[in-house]
Amino acid sequence: MQCKCLLDPVPQDAYASLWVVARALAGRATQVRDSAHPPSGGDATGPGMIVATAALDIHGLRKCFGAQTVLDYLDWEVPAGRVIGLLGRNGAGKSTLIRCALGLSPVDGGEVRLFGEAVATLRPETLHRVGYVPQSFDLFPWMRVRQYLGFHAAFYARWNRELVDGLLGRWEVDAAKKIGELSQGQRQKLAIIRAIAPDPDLLLLDEPVASLDPQTRRLFLAELLRITRRPGKTVVFSTHITTDLERADAEIALLKAGRIQFSADLPTLKARVRRIDLSGPLPDPGFRHPGILRHARDEGQAHWIVDGLDDAAITELAARSGSVWQASAMSLEDIFIELG
């Protein structure tokens, strides 16, 4: 019989999978604290009452890989109770940002706080409030699914076994199988289940549905929405599948040039970025304006993609050439292509 030694090499991404476990284990003896002392980042306003803080608060975050600056003095505040989709082109630094936010990657400057506490010195109680699914993961291939989940459950103050059993069934993950016998999609489902099971107040997911089929993606998003409809729950997830963000009715944060360029809910974003079709006398082909991202002409019409121009501003610009204009809404995918 072959035994698996805990000293054997551990897959790199398994360390991220066990982030909370390792740090919670190190601080296990300090979990019971004097309730008279409020946690850092909050002020006591009465017995058992703490002033609400942002779920994630980042100031001046800088991260470099050699001579390349990936995060450039980035500021970002994520209020509690939001669902936020982190968008950015490949290589924009989405995974790096999430890993830095969790303290999994060293930074070159700046400050990161979770629930008002510095990420480097989080209390075990606060660690238990955070869930994370990395972009890639190897987990522990020698463990069986039920064994793996039981191992994690032992380190959490909260663990929803009913939810775990329900998701294993609905997502068709065999609890008796070894993790190494699962498909890539099934391993991704398992990582999501493990992250959701402790009922986290902040859930960070890095491309969580990349390996899932469309049906399972819908199931996952339905579960995600169920969690976020509860007061105080916050979800941040990066994805290139813009239709999933629209389905989740998520607030959109765009990461570009090392910074969060904007963070807005979907209706606000769609009202801000629009397609304008002009007919009649057309503007001069050389006409430019800071609020017009792109110009095009075809079949006797001109087309603008505008950013931040209200109806009055568009009317004034069109009147310069005597053009008649009509606005049309754009999909999130089209907006991302224009702004990303």
Residues 6+ apart with CB under 8 A from 68: none
CA distance 267 to 290: 22
What pLDDT is attached to residue 43? 41
Mean pLDDT of the residues in the chain: 83
Inform me whether the pLDDT recorded for 35 exceeds 70.
Answer: no
Q: Give the residue carrying structure tokens 């000293």.
A: 7
- Per-residue pLDDT averaged across 152-157, rounded? 90
The pair of structure tokens assigned to 160 is: 């929803």
What pLDDT is attached to residue 90? 86
**Residue of 68, 15, 95, 92 lying closest to 340 (CA atoms):** 92
Inform me whether the pLDDT recorded for 153 exceeds 80.
Answer: yes
Question: Which pLDDT tens digit goes with each residue over 104-130?
Answer: 999 999 999 999 999 999 998 999 999
**Residue of 179, 187, 98, 178 lying closest to 136 (CA atoms):** 187
Cα 281–chain centre separation: 45
In this prediction, residue 52 has a pLDDT band, given cuts at 50, 70 and 90, of: low
Inform me whether the pLDDT recorded for 160 exceeds 90.
Answer: yes
CA distance 81 to 56: 11
Amino acid identity at 53: T
What pLDDT is attached to residue 38? 39
Q: What angle do CA 147, 150, 152 make, to 5 degrees?
A: 115
Phi then psi for 318, rounded to 5 degrees?
-65, -30
Task: Give the least confident one: 10-19, 138-147, 210-219.
Answer: 10-19
Residue 340 CA: distances (Å) to CA of 134, 252, 255, 310, 332: 23, 12, 8, 21, 11
Q: What is the 3-state secondary structure (H, E, C) of 82-111?
A: CEEEEECCCCCCHHHHHHHHCCCCCCCEEE
What pLDDT is attached to residue 227? 73
Whole-prediction pTM value? 0.81
Question: Which pLDDT tens digit goes with each residue over 253-309?
Answer: 999 999 999 999 999 999 999 999 999 999 998 899 999 999 999 888 999 999 999
Give the residue with greater pLDDT, 274 vs 243. Answer: 274
What pLDDT is attached to residue 33? 35
